[in-house]
Structures are given as C-alpha cells and as structure tokens.
C-alpha cells in the first residue's frame, strides 16, 4: 500500500490560513473551502448515512496549485461540516496533482477513483503530461489509503482524466474524458468486474468539428426514459448569445444499454446560461433523486476573494428531471427550504415607469416571485439586487420585452466582474423566478428550472438592498416572497 506523506503538512497549512480568511464574500449557504483554492466538485456520494462532497483543492494558498481533495459531509444536504483533506499528491503516479474523479460505495467501503497527474516537461506545459486513473479507499469515510493506478490511457491519448464510475446489473462502468490525436473531445467507456480491473469498451461519444478539443468531467446516467451524457467541452466558439464563457458545461441525450452503442437523440445543450458554472457532477440521494453540484466559477475570471485568502465555491445542490419536451430541468434541492427564516410577502401590485425599493436585505436570501407577462407592457422590467445606497453597485435581472429575452446584467455588480448573459423569454403568460443571493453569488431558476443563470457578484456587504422596477410602461408583479437564509455551517 502507498501512504500519503504530506497530509499533515497540508492540513496544518489549511488550519493556519483559515484563521486569516476574511468573511466579506464568504458564502453563508454554499459550499466553499475553509481556505485556499477550490474548483471541480468530486466524489459526490451517499454512504452509511452521510453525504460526501469532495472537491479540487489547493490548501497552501488561494491560487490553483497541485491539486488535493478537500472534503465536506452532511447528514441532510443542508448542514455541512469540513473534514480532513482526503487526498494529497506526491506519489509517482499523482506527483503533480490528484485531479478530478468520483466516489462510490463498494459494499460499505467509500472508494475514490481519481486522475493522477504528472507534468513531464515543466509545470503548466499541457503538451507533455501523463494522466492515469487511480484508486483510494477508506474504512471510516474520512481517512483514505491510496492503492495506485487502475487504468492507463489507450495508445495515442495523453489528455485522459475525470473518471465517473457507477454499478449497473452487477458490473462496474466508468466514463473518462479524453482528447484524441485530432484534438477533438471524446468520452471513453470502460467496464469491470471490480474497481481494480477494467476493460476498454470503446468511445461512448465524440466531438464533431465545433464541440471542442477536450471533454472534461463526463457523467453518464439515466434520467426519465433517456440517458444523459453530461460533460464540459473546452474550445467551443461563441455563437450569438450562446457559449460566451471561457468553457462550457452541458449535455446530450440519447438511449443506451450495456454492450450497445449510445444512440444520440438530442444535440448539445448548455445546462446553465450564467457567467459561472463548470464541471458539474451528479449523485443519487438516499431516496433515489438525481442531484448535481457545479463549480460556481470560471477559468480565467476575476476572483476578488483571493485577496481574502480563498477562491471558489459550489452551486446549490440541484435536482434534475426530464420534462415532456425532453429538456433537462434543474431546481434547487427541496431540502434547502429548511434554511428559510423570516419571510416577507407582498400582495400583487403594478409598477409604471418607477423603481420601488424594498426594505429587505440581499446579503443571504431566497426570493420567489412571479410576473404577469401577458399584462406587462413595459419595455424593460425586473429586479435589482445587492443595491448599494448610492446605487453605484447593483445586479439586475430583467425582462426585455423588445428583444424577448431575460437578461442578467453584471455591469455594476462589484469588484472585477461585468458583462451580460441572457436567455430567450419563455413562452407563457406568467414568469416564475426563484432567486438565491449569497454574499458573492446569484442563482436564478426560471419557470421551475426550465433554464438557469448562475453568476458571481462582489458588491460591498453594506446596504445590499432590493428593488423592483419598470421602464417605459407598466409591469405587474403577481407574487413576491423573500426569505432570509440561515447558514449551512456550524456556529463558531
């Protein structure tokens, strides 16, 4: 067995830096590292009465570095506890990083399958790397022992990472993201009789000319009567309002059964249309629902929290479903209602060429509201959140009736961020919105998860008001409820 040699050092660095972390942007009800860097969610699993969320972590400072696996647990998907660092790089097969992967419950043994990463010609040189799939196990769900390499890449493949494993009809299956010799992304499928013995079944799906040079973080699972292949393609070209981020995350739908090809029935669709959503991974709850977490950030974006000693957080847990039109819907996990505290409800009202400031806070809140689209004739109407007293800072989410779009506007959202993201205004007479606002983020769920927009914001913590408005016409708000949200973390 191969033992970790630097776990003590990483844990000690984490504890020391945590004492220096500033709180101004640190989330109240989103998962974030105790200190240092966080990116992809890894190893989402339910085992022996606990939910486990692992994540890509650099505990020594707030920048990306040699990847460790951070770890958090919960009994209810609401209240979370930081746990000891689970994986530390340093062995021959993962010398430069324990990259992304997954967790499974193997007859009561919590098992991590992850990518071991080695730079062959200098740190950061992606043209010369070695990536293999590795395994580690735990008897108590907290402390892990590495067992080395279980899968090496096929000939001609160098970028080979982010395994996702599941068991079906007594067999283990694994999908792995890859980049072929022609610089096109693909997902490879493996099967095995145990977690230590694997056979390559072939290419499950691959990119055409426009769907990216690398497919990261694949996930493959049944949803409704279809199979959903979820992945994060790198290298897509923006098309109008779509694919505006550095990298994307989305899915393709089709049909599949073991020992048969994956038959595509629907082309690639983005999962989230905001600025900050990447590397989602799904898991199954104790009662059988399919949920996911995503990384609520984006490569090459500004990160004002690094000045505070930390970077990165995860989205809310989101429940996935397939609607009658074959579209994936995402809604916040129902368990999150337990975080609601004082409610503030308004009766139906209209706004005409005016802005109505509400005497409630957008520091950590949930809002559920509906607009009457049929009756609203204003050219633009919506909600302003995190509004400073001098209106220098404000994040807007509004309906543009002329372009028939919903717009998330970050042009005044605070330190380092800007830009717009938008989606087509859905059909129907009513627009239903659930909006979650934390200290440095906003997540909008439109019409019961028909579409979602997730973005980071960094306004001052003082003020943080909420306003509703209508420009050049009248708009009708049918319902409005605001809740203060409690923290998911233990009291200090």
* DSSP string of 251-308, one letter each residue: EEEEE--TTS--EEEEEEEES--SSS-EEEEEEE-TTS-EEEEEESS-TT---GGGGG
> pLDDT band at residue 1, thresholds of 50, 70 and 90?
very low
Average confidence (pLDDT) over 417-441: 97
Are 359 and 477 members of one domain? yes
Tell me the DSSP string of 376-425. ---SEEEEEEEE-TTSSSEEEEEEETTTTEEEEEEEESBTT---EEEEEP
**Known catalytic membership, residue 276:** no
Average confidence (pLDDT) over 387-399: 96
Tell me the DSSP string of 353-373. EEEEEES---SSEEEEEEEET
Average confidence (pLDDT) over 207-227: 96
- What three-state secondary structure class fits 310? strand
> pLDDT band at residue 5, thresholds of 50, 70 and 90?
low
Asked if residue 378 is part of any domain, the answer here is yes
Are 305 and 358 members of one domain? no
Are 93 and 164 members of one domain? yes
Average confidence (pLDDT) over 436-462: 97
pLDDT of 6 reads 84
Contacts of 413 (CB under 8 A, 6+ apart): 386, 393, 394, 395, 455, 457, 458, 459
pLDDT of 241 reads 95
pLDDT of 174 reads 98
Kindly name the residue from 40, 94, 219, 276 that is annotated as catalytic: 40
Asked if residue 182 is part of any domain, the answer here is yes
Phi–psi pair at 267, nearest 5 degrees: -75, 175
Which residue, 297, 332, 367, sits at the end of a domain?
332
Average confidence (pLDDT) over 360-382: 97
Which CATH number characterizes residue 184's domain? 2.115.10.20
| Count of structural domains, the chain | 2
- Judge whether residue 288 has pLDDT over 90: yes
Are 91 and 222 members of one domain? yes
Asked if residue 492 is part of any domain, the answer here is no
In the chain, the percentage of residues whose pLDDT exceeds 90 is 96
The span from the first CA to the last CA of the chain, in angstroms, equals 38
Average confidence (pLDDT) over 72-93: 97
Asked if residue 490 is part of any domain, the answer here is no
Asked if residue 1 is part of any domain, the answer here is no
Asked if residue 226 is part of any domain, the answer here is yes
CA-wise closest residue to 83 among 108, 59, 115, 117: 59
Q: Tell me which residue has tokens 């010799």.
A: 181
Q: What is the mean pLDDT of the chain?
A: 96
Q: What is the DSSP letter of 241?
A: T
Are 224 and 370 members of one domain? no
Q: Tell me which residue has tokens 């972590």.
A: 57
Are 401 and 424 members of one domain? yes
Average confidence (pLDDT) over 11-28: 94
Are 216 and 76 members of one domain? yes
Are 345 and 328 members of one domain? no
> Could you give the CA distance from residue 61 to residue 273 in angstroms, rounded to a whole number?
30
Asked if residue 256 is part of any domain, the answer here is yes
Average confidence (pLDDT) over 457-465: 93
Which residue, 303, 332, 361, sits at the end of a domain?
332
- Judge whether residue 325 has pLDDT over 90: no
Domain that holds residue 162: 7-332
Are 228 and 344 members of one domain? no
Asked if residue 216 is part of any domain, the answer here is yes
Are 326 and 439 members of one domain? no
Which CATH number characterizes residue 475's domain? 2.60.120.560
- What three-state secondary structure class fits 8? helix
Are 317 and 345 members of one domain? no
pLDDT of 37 reads 98
- The edge-to-edge listing of strands for the beta sheet with 197-206 is 160-168, 171-179, 185-194, 197-206
> pLDDT band at residue 24, thresholds of 50, 70 and 90?
very high
Are 167 and 229 members of one domain? yes
Which residue, 299, 332, 365, sits at the end of a domain?
332
Q: What is the DSSP letter of 123?
A: T
């Amino acid at each position: 067995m191969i033992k970790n040699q630097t776990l003590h050092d990483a844990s000690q660095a984490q504890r020391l830096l945590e004492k220096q972390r500033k709180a101004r942007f640190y989330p109240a009800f989103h998962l974030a590292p105790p200190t240092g860097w966080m990116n992809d969610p890894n190893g989402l699993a339910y085992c022996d009465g606990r939910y486990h969320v692992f994540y890509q972590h650099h505990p020594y400072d707030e920048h990306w570095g040699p990847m460790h696996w951070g770890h958090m647990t919960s009994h209810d998907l609401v209240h979370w506890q930081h746990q000891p660092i689970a994986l530390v790089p340093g062995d021959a097969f993962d010398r430069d990083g324990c990259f992304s992967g997954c967790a499974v419950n193997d007859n009561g043994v919590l098992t991590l399958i992850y990518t071991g990463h080695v730079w062959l010609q200098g740190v950061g040189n992606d043209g010369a790397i070695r990536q293999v799939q590795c395994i580690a196990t735990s008897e108590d769900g907290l402390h892990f022992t590495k067992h080395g390499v279980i899968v090496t890449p096929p000939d001609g493949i160098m970028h080979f990472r982010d395994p996702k494993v599941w068991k079906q009809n007594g067999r283990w299956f694994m999908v792995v993201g890859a980049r072929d010799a022609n610089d096109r992304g693909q997902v490879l499928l493996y099967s095995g009789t145990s977690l230590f013995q694997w056979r390559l079944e072939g290419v499950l799906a691959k990119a055409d000319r426009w769907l990216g040079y690398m497919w990261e973080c694949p996930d493959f699972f049944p949803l409704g009567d279809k199979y959903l292949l979820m992945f994060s393609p790198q290298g897509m070209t923006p098309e109008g309002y779509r694919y505006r981020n550095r990298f994307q995350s989305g899915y393709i739908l089709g049909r599949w059964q073991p020992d048969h090809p994956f038959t595509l029935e629907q082309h690639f669709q983005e999962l989230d249309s905001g600025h900050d959503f990447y590397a989602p991974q799904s898991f199954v709850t104790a009662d059988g629902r399919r949920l996911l977490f995503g990384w609520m950030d984006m490569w090459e974006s500004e990160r004002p929290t690094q000045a505070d000693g930390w970077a990165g957080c995860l989205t809310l847990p989101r429940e996935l479903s397939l609607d009658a039109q074959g579209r994936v819907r995402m809604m916040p996990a129902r368990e999150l209602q337990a975080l609601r505290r004082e409610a503030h409800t308004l009766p139906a009202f209209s706004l005409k060429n005016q802005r109505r400031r509400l005497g409630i806070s957008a520091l950590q809140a949930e809002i559920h509201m509906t607009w009457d689209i049929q009756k609203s004739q204003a050219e633009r109407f919506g909600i302003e959140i995190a509004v400073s007293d001098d209106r220098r800072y404000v994040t807007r989410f509004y309906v543009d009736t002329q372009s028939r779009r919903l717009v998330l506007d970050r042009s005044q959202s605070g330190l380092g961020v800007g830009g717009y993201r938008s989606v087509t205004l859905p059909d129907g007479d009513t627009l239903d919105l659930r909006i979650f606002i934390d200290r440095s983020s906003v997540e909008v769920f439109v019409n019961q998860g028909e579409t979602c927009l997730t973005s980071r914001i960094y306004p001052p913590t003082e003020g943080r008001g909420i306003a509703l408005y209508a420009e050049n016409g009248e708009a009708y708000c049918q319902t409005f409820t605001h809740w203060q949200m409690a923290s998911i973390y233990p009291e200090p």
